[in-house]
């Protein structure tokens, strides 16, 4: 296949999506016919190894999880920008533009590493003790 986009390929992907959902719905539907259904009693309580649950499980979380997620977004966007460059890297070297491509990516990755170092020094990547 050439560089063009064949929309039929994405229809195929969509069919995979539908197929996967149907594949799960069939056994779940079958289970409805076979499985016992006797609600009531203690089995609907939250499982905490036999203890009575104290408070809701929807509580506030350590800020650490959110910091990781924020740093992740920066790096993930960057990864998306690196991939198109990586596809063209060999072609650029062939055309004699290797130095240009390399400098460009060095600047880009350099800014990124600076941000990484900042997050590191600020302790965003340290787990709370």
Partner 1 sequence: MERGPIESLVHRLFAGLYGIPVLGWLIPIVLVLGMVALAALVLIWLERKVSGHIQSRRGPLHNGPHGLLQTVWDALKLLVKEDIVPSSADRLIMLMAPFVVFTPAVLVYVVMPFGKGWTVANLNIGLLWVVSVLSLGPVGIILGGWGSHNKWSLLGGMRSAAQLISYEIPSVLALGAIVMMAGTMSMDGLVAAQDQYEFVLTPPGLIAFVVYLVTALAELNRNPFDLPEAESELVAGFVTEYSGFKFAIFFLAEFANLLALSMITVTVFLGGWQPPSVLFFLPDSAQLPGVFWFAIKTTVMVFVFQWIKWTLPRLRIDQMLNVCWKGLIPITLGNLALACVWLLLTEKSWAR
Q: Which of 63, 90, 107, 111 binds partner 1 (CB under 8 A)?
A: 90
Q: Are 112 and 75 in contact (CB under 8 A)?
A: yes
Start-end of H helices in the chain: 7-34, 63-94, 98-122
Residue 74: count of CB within 10 angstroms of its CB: 13
Q: Is residue 82 close enough to count as binding partner 1 by CB under 8 A?
A: yes
Q: Is residue 104 close enough to count as binding partner 1 by CB under 8 A?
A: no
Q: Is residue 83 close enough to count as binding partner 1 by CB under 8 A?
A: yes
Q: Is residue 97 close enough to count as binding partner 1 by CB under 8 A?
A: no
End-to-end Cα spacing for the chain: 53
Extract the tokens encoding 119: 């997050």
Nearest distance in Å: CB 124, partner 1: 9
Q: Is residue 50 close enough to count as binding partner 1 by CB under 8 A?
A: no
Q: Is residue 42 close enough to count as binding partner 1 by CB under 8 A?
A: no
Give the interface size with partner 1 as a residue count (CB under 8 A): 72
């Amino acid at each position: 296949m050439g560089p063009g986009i064949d929309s039929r390929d994405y229809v195929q992907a969509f069919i995979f999506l539908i197929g996967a959902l149907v594949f799960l719905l069939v056994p779940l539907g079958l289970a409805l016919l076979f499985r016992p259904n006797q609600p009531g009693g203690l089995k609907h309580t939250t499982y905490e190894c036999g203890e009575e649950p104290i408070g809701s499980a929807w509580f506030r979380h350590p800020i650490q999880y959110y910091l990781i997620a924020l740093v992740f977004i920066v790096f993930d966007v960057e990864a998306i920008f690196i991939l198109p460059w990586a596809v063209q890297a060999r072609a650029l070297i062939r055309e004699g533009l290797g130095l240009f491509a390399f400098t460009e990516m060095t600047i880009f990755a350099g800014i990124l590493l600076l941000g990484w170092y900042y997050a590191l020094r600020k302790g965003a990547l340290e787990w709370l003790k």
